[in-house]
Every structure is written in C-alpha cells, then in structure tokens.
C-alpha cells in the first residue's frame, strides 16, 4: 500500500512545477500603526468594553 | 520548521502560506501548497518528491528568516509593568434594564449597591499614586445611575493630576437610557470614550434589553445617542450582543447601528450557558461567523473604493500585526495591567471575573493589597498564561495573531483558563483565512493601497476626535 503510494508520489513529484514563493509586502503601510489601533478599538477583547476599553488586546 | 510554524490555504485560485513566527504571508504555487497541506495535516510517510519539495521550502524559509528582523512580542511577561493601566470601576451594581442574557444578575453581581466615595479614594490610593497614566472605565450595572460618585471620581482625578500623582482618562460603558444636562456636560468635558450597548433594530433591542419599567430601551437610547454625541469630541461606539434571536440579522443589525453616525460598531456573541434559549447552536454560530466575515469583506471594499466610508475592524486588526510584525502573547491585559473594582471595593482581574471567589484578589480597603498573597498569586497566574504556555494554543498556527481565547470564556467552558474555546478558534481562523487574501490583494494594487492609506489617515483624524476628519464608521 505504502509502496504504491510512494511510487505514485514520485510520479507526481516529477510533474510538479518549480517552486514559486513570493512574499506579500506590507512594508508600505509602516507608520500607520496608530491608525490600525484606532480602527480596531471596538474589536478589543470582544467583551463589552469599547473604544479605549484598555483591555490591551492590541498591546496598549 | 514544524507543523505549528505555518499554515497553507487557498482562495480564489491562489495559494498562500502564512509563517507564524515571522508574521509574514507568501503566495506560493499550487504544488508546493499541496505538499505543505500534507505536512500540516501530519500525513506520513512521504515519497521522495514530496520530501524534496518540503526540504526545499524549509531551506528557502530558513534562509529568509535569517535575513529578516525578528518579530517582536507586543507584551511579554518581562515587559509587563507593575502598575495598573486600565481599571473598571463598578460605580453602580444596579441597572434599569433586565437584559435577557445578562451574565451579571441584572447588573447586581449578587451584591446590589452603589460605590461610595471612600471606596473610590481607596482605589486611587492603591493604584494611582505613582505618577503614571491610567484609564478608568465607569461600569456597572448602569454606571450613570450613580452620577454623584462618577463626578466625585473625576474631581479626585483632578486632585491627583495637580499633585503629579496620576494622569487619568475616563471611559463609560452605558446602556444609554439615561439622559440629563449633567450627563451631557460630563461627556463633553470629562469622558474620552463612550460605549453604548444597543443590540439592533427596535424589535430586537426591546426584546433582548427590556426595561424594568416597561418603556422601550430602543426609543430612549436612540434619542440619547444623538443628544450625547452631537456636540462633543468624545470617541464613541456601539456594542451589540448577538444571540440566537439576532444571529441571522447581522447585516441588518450592522446597518441599523451604522445609521447613528461616525461611531464604532462592535458585534459579539452572547456569553450564555449552552442550555440558555439565547445560546447559538453550532449551525447558528456558523451562520453568525459567515455574516461577520461578509460584513468585514464589504467594509474593506467600501473603504478602498471610496463609496460610503464604512469599515469593519478585522482587516485592520490583520494589518496591524502584519505591518508591525508583532506577536500577541495574551488575549488582553486582564489580571496584570487591567483590573476591576466592585462597588464594595473587591478587586478582580477584569470586569468579567467579578463575583467569582477564586479570582477575588483582595479589597481596596487593605493598605497591603498589592503585596498580599492572593493579589500576587492571581497576577502571576495571568502573567504566565501566555499563548505559548496555553495547552491547545501553543501548537496553533494562528497563536500570535490571536493571543488565545478570553480567559473568562475559557474558564466558563473548561473551569480552567488555559484551554482555548473552540468557537473562538474557529472564528479567528476563519476571519484570517478569508480576509487575509483580501487585504493582500488591496496592498498589491498601488491605487487601492494609496486609497487605503489616505482613508486610514482621514479615519484616524476622525476617530481621535479632531474635527474636519472624514467620517469613517468602524466596526
């Protein structure tokens, strides 16, 4: 069973395309952390706090 | 690299891998994604081809990791300062509503009463005398039912500020049903942030949040939100509790709350026992999550397309972590830099633990409170419950974006703070998997990225109270 699976995988691997990896860059938004924090004030701890509920879920 | 260090997923024919420790996202080819999915699922043994591709991927990522700055922890145990940053002050353990899902015994927490000014003074003595900045949230019950002590607290804060002992900002969480000129003045002059509790359209609100005297809570809060936010710099938002009654109306609830203007909107599922009629069963909860994701997706599109400037929070939550490349080690600051003080002066790790004896840290009347064994033991217990230490979290790919479940929710479900709440895990993973590719697509389109940045700056100026900012609704 495993032998068959391995043979099949080896066959598959020969058909694999070359590995392609590209990093999604978020760097251009650096400096906007304060905006992100302000825009997530209601998400906080999800626990009936609110803007500035001080739960610290965003590290404050 | 181990299984716990990555997660691969696909959306709209594209394939991605998220690297947990680096807090980074990569688009990858379909074949590599398929290999990673098998490794992640714990499948063995592999054929040589799969093994080679896995090794190739690991080598590539190891090299990349060496060239990138390491991600930072938002707060690690050694970074946590000794002083309290946020404090919930239960000025009133009485309420004029009897909400059907209230976890607090109609706001009384088993001990109905109002805080007196001596408890306020003792609270200040214990926590606010070291020249630090603090945030006090008036909470209840309905905190505006004890306006004299609210005002006394503000007077005392002014004394402390003048003496250089503390710089204190004030927030309120209110059901919004009480209005007076004094409250309007209070909001205008002294309150930084207000959260109104409003569940949705009139029928839903009045069903879930009935008054004790028979009037419509929806009618009162609708009028009062307008009056209390009309001529003020205060930041404000609306929190809706979603139950089995409202779980199929999420978009309708959102639209209704959105009509009140440029405040934030928060939607959260009710914390009720599984046998409670308002508890969402698994199917209802799944529909709730789907709608939350749908509203978030619409909000992001609306935000970058320049139509009605409406946003929903999760895209920005994701952006925060990816741009800052930070690890969330905790769900929140409870028990360390966040505490709650009841009307009687009892101290708890946060507003949600109030009334649970196991978590009573002491009383503000005790001059040695902060050095006492119960206080220190509970504080250490919270401090050491990082996501890396929590069973069920430490091997999760989403751990640093999540920080773990709410300690109170875990305690309610498991009698233990460490194990995660499965629903919370499903919620946060779903949000990330669906929204992260959307956010990435925006970032990769120069025009949309620019629009996002401009609107974020405009939104920030609005949210922090500066006049002239473009109105942006956030939820």
Distance CA B215, CA A6 (A): 72
In whole angstroms, how far apart are CA B279 and each of B31, B70, B200, B398? 42, 42, 17, 26
Residues in chain B, total:
475
Confidence band for A43, pLDDT divided at 50, 70 and 90 = low
Which residues lie below 8 Å from residue B283, measured CB to CB, with a gap of 6+?
none
How far apart CA B191 and CA B401 sit, in angstroms, is 31
Q: Does residue A51 sit at the B interface (CB-CB below 8 Å)?
A: yes
Tell me how many residue pairs between chain A and chain B have CB atoms under 8 A apart.
240
Q: Can you name the residues that pair with B171 across neighbouring β-strands? A: B137, B193
Find, among B256, B309, B236, the residue nearest to B463 by Cα: B236
Q: How many CB atoms lie within 10 A of CB B171?
A: 26
Residue pair B186/B234 in contact (Cβ under 8 Å)? The answer is no
Global pTM value: 0.90
Edge to edge, the sheet with strand A21-23 lists: A21-23, B24-28, B14-19, B6-11
Please tell me the distance in Å from A5's CA to the nearest CA on chain B: 8
Does A54 lie at the interface with B, CB-CB under 8 angstroms?
yes
Burial of B79 (0-12, 13-18, 19+ CB in 10 A): exposed
Choose, out of B463, B466, B470, the residue to mutate when testing the contact with A (most A CBs < 10 Å).
B463
Of residues A47 and B240, which shows the higher confidence score? B240
Interface confidence, given as ipTM, is 0.82
CA distances, B249 to each of B103, B242, B267, B295 (Å): 23, 9, 11, 11
The Cα B290–Cα B309 span in angstroms is 22
- pLDDT (tens digit, 0 to 9) for every residue of chain B, 475 residues total? 999 999 999 998 999 999 999 999 999 999 999 999 999 999 987 889 999 999 999 999 999 999 999 999 988 999 898 999 899 999 999 999 999 999 888 889 999 999 999 999 999 999 998 899 999 999 999 999 999 999 999 999 999 999 999 999 999 999 999 999 999 999 999 998 898 999 999 999 999 999 999 999 999 999 999 999 887 778 888 889 999 999 999 999 999 998 887 777 888 888 888 999 999 999 999 999 999 999 888 888 888 886 655 556 788 888 888 888 999 898 888 999 999 999 999 999 999 999 999 999 999 999 999 999 999 999 999 999 999 999 899 999 999 998 888 899 899 889 999 999 999 899 989 989 999 999 999 998 999 998 888 888 776 545 443 333 344 444 3
> Shortest Cα distance from A1 to chain B (angstroms)?
11
Of B314, B305, B302, nearest to B268 by C-alpha is B314
- On the CB side of A38, CA atoms within 13 Å amount to 21
Query: Taking the mean position of all CA atoms in its chain, how far away is CA A10?
Result: 31
Between A35 and B365, the more confident residue is B365
Pairing of strands B72-73, B346-348: unpaired
Judge whether A46 is closer than 8 Å to chain B, CB to CB: yes
Q: Which helix (H) or strand (E) holds A38?
A: helix A33-39
For strands B338-341 and B86-93, give the pairing.
parallel
Q: Do the chains contact at B316 and A48, CB–CB below 8 Å?
A: no
The more confidently predicted of residues B200 and A38 is B200
> Tens digits of per-residue pLDDT, A14-32?
678 999 999 999 888 888 8
Q: A23 and B64: CB-CB below 8 Å?
A: yes
Higher pLDDT, A7 or B16: B16
pLDDT reading at A4 higher than 80: no
Cβ contacts of A27 on chain B, cutoff 8 Å: 323
Determine the Cα–Cα distance for residues B155 and B133; give it in Å rounded to an integer.
Answer: 16
Q: Residue B332 in contact with residue B404, Cβ under 8 Å?
A: no
Distance, CA of B331 to CA of A55 (rounded, Å): 9
Q: For testing the chain B interface, which of A3, A45, A58 should be mutated: the one with the most B CBs within 10 Å?
A: A45
Residues B93 and B113: beta-carbon distance below 8 Å? yes
A4 touches chain B (CB under 8 A): no
Contact B300, B315 (CB under 8 A): yes
Cβ neighbours, 10 Å, residue B460: 19
């Amino acid at each position: 069973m495993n032998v068959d699976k391995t043979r099949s995988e080896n066959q598959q691997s020969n058909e694999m395309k070359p590995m392609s990896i590209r990093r999604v860059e978020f760097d251009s938004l650096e400096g906007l952390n304060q905006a992100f924090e302000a825009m997530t004030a209601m998400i906080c701890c999800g626990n009936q706090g609110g803007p500035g509920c001080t739960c610290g879920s965003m590290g404050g | 690299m181990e299984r716990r260090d990555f997660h691969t997923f696909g959306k709209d024919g594209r394939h991605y891998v998220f690297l947990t420790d680096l807090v980074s996202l990569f688009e990858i080819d379909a074949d590599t994604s398929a290999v990673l999915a098998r490794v992640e699922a714990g499948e063995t043994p592999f054929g040589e081809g799969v093994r080679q591709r896995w090794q190739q991927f690991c080598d590539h990522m190891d090299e990349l990791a060496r060239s990138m700055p390491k991600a930072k922890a938002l707060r690690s145990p050694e970074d946590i300062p000794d002083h309290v940053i946020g404090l919930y002050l239960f000025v009133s353990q009485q309420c004029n509503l009897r909400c059907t899902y209230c976890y607090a015994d109609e706001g009384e927490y088993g001990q109905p009463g109002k805080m007196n000014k001596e408890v306020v003074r003792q609270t200040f003595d214990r926590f606010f005398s070291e020249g630090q900045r603090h945030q006090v949230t008036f909470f209840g019950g309905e905190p505006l039912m004890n306006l004299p002590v609210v005002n006394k607290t503000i007077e005392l804060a002014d004394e402390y500020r003048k003496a250089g002992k503390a710089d204190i900002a004030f927030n309120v969480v209110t059901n919004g049903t009480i209005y007076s000129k004094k409250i309007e003045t209070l909001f205008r002059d002294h309150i930084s942030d207000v959260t109104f509790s409003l569940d949705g359209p009139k029928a839903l609100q009045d069903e879930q949040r009935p008054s004790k005297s028979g009037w419509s809570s929806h009618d009162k809060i609708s009028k009062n939100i307008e009056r209390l936010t009309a001529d003020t710099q205060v930041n404000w938002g609306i929190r809706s509790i979603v139950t089995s009654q409202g779980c199929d109306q999420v978009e309708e609830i959102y639209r209704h709350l959105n009509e009140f203007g440029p405040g934030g909107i928060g939607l959260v599922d009710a914390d009720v026992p599984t046998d409670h009629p308002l508890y969402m069963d698994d199917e209802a909860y799944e529909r709730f999550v789907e709608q939350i994701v749908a509203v978030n997706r619409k909000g992001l599109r609306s935000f970058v397309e320049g139509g009605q400037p409406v946003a929903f929070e999760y895209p920005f939550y994701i952006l925060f972590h990816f741009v800052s490349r930070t690890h969330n080690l905790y769900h929140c600051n409870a028990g360390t830099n966040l505490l709650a003080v009841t009307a009687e002066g009892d101290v708890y790790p946060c507003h949600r633990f109030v009334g649970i004896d196991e978590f009573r840290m002491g009383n503000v009347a005790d001059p040695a409170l902060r050095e006492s064994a119960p206080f220190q033991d509970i504080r250490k217990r919270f401090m050491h419950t990082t996501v890396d230490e929590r069973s069920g979290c430490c091997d999760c790919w989403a751990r640093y974006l999540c920080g773990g479940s709410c300690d109170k929710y875990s305690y309610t479900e498991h009698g233990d703070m460490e194990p995660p709440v499965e629903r919370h895990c499903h919620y946060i993973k779903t949000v990330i998997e669906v929204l992260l590719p959307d956010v990435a697509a925006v970032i990769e389109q120069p025009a949309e990225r620019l629009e996002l940045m401009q609107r974020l700056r405009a939104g920030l100026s609005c949210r922090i109270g500066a006049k002239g900012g473009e109105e942006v609704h956030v939820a």
